[in-house]
Structure 1
Amino acid sequence: MFSKDNKKSSERVVSERNVIGSNTKITGDIISEGDFRIDGTLEGNIQTNGRIIIGEGGLIKGKAECTNADIEGKFSGDLQVSNILTVKATANITGDVIISKLSVEPGATFNATCSMKGAVKELKKNEQKNTEKTA
């Protein structure tokens, strides 16, 4: 009646949620599969397949790579978001940003060089089609 080979339980992906508290400062690199909320300070690099949330009092100085990001605090460095970057009104971002989609609330400070991956691919494809037609 009950099978020990339950595929649903073996295929389940555990989503970790990590929090760096407001009175915490970390210097170094973080690599994880889970989500991160940063209310303290991270000086270093962070790489995750999940979401990075920088709280209003949070700060990252370094490089960040993630799937999605919500920024309310401060970020300085290189930011690479493979899906959506949401910049809240209290955010302050400086550095180089590579994203797929961008959402910026009024009042945010966004002093960064920004590249959108999807738009670059589409432009290259269109340029190739135009050169093929004229040749």
Structure 2
Amino acid sequence: MASKQNDETEGKKLTVGKGIRLSGEITACEKLVVEGQVEADLTGAQDLVVAESGLFKGRAIVDRAEISGTFEGELTVREVLNLHGSGLIDGTLKYAEMEIERGGRVRGTIEELDRAQAAKPSGPTPVATSSRETEKEPGAAKSEAAAS
């Protein structure tokens, strides 16, 4: 029975290997490991790992993050962020707790989450908010095109 549980957990892990490029929205993924390049919105994940060779561009809301490579965009970490010496976060960072090794770099806006913000789940609510924003943008584009 323990092996069945391990298989289920392992099935919710996505690894983007070196030399691989992935673009889009990532949902229902408990752990994302980036060794290649990912340009995406990541919500509902527990763990984000960006390897030294990895690049993540976009928005991520996770419980825990381990950054050894490059993260560009908006990163919200509700529990612990580990920024390794080779890591770079460029953009907006919101975190509950953070550990930075010597050499780790952050460029942009940094905000510490209070306990209430850190406790908010990343499940359906952020995804729904993101979907509404996405739906508004195409509608706005159609209105602008019709006005032209």
**Once the two structures are superposed, what CA deviation does each residue of 1:57-101 show, in whole Å capped at 9, x if it has no partner?**
100111011110000000110001110010000001110011100
- CA-CA distance at 1:37 after TM superposition: 0.6
Q: Paired residue for 2:39, among 27, 39, 43?
A: 43
Q: After the TM superposition, which parts of structure 1 deviate over 4 Å for at least 4 consecutive aligned residues?
A: none
SS in structure 1 opposite 2:114?
helix
Mark the structure with the bigger radius of gyration: 1
The structure with more helix, counted as a fraction of residues:
2
> 1:35·1:48 contact (CA, 8 Å) conserved in 2?
no
* CA distance in 1: counterparts of 2:44 and 2:50, whole angstroms: 14
Cross-structure match for 1:86: 82
- CA-CA distance at 1:119 after TM superposition: 7.1
> 1:76·1:93 contact (CA, 8 Å) conserved in 2?
yes
Query: Which residues of structure 1 form unaligned runs of 5+?
Result: 1-7, 122-135
> 2:46·2:62 contact (CA, 8 Å) conserved in 1?
yes
1:117 has 2:113 as partner: yes
* CA distance in 1: counterparts of 2:116 and 2:102, whole angstroms: 26
1:72 has 2:90 as partner: no
My pick for the range that moved more, 22-31 or 67-76, is: 22-31
> 2:27·2:45 contact (CA, 8 Å) conserved in 1?
no
Q: Which amino acid aligns with 1:25?
A: R
Q: Which amino acid aligns with 1:80?
A: T
TM-score (norm 1): 0.75
Q: Which amino acid aligns with 1:99?
A: Y
Q: CA RMSD in A?
A: 2.0
My pick for the range that moved more, 51-60 or 23-32, is: 23-32
Cross-structure match for 2:96: 100
My pick for the range that moved more, 111-120 or 24-33, is: 111-120
Query: Which residues of structure 2 form unaligned runs of 5+?
Result: 118-148
**Once the two structures are superposed, what CA deviation does each residue of 1:83-134 show, in whole Å capped at 9, x if it has no partner?**
001000000111001110011000112113111112798xxxxxxxxxxxxx
Aligned residues: 112
My pick for the range that moved more, 15-24 or 54-63, is: 15-24
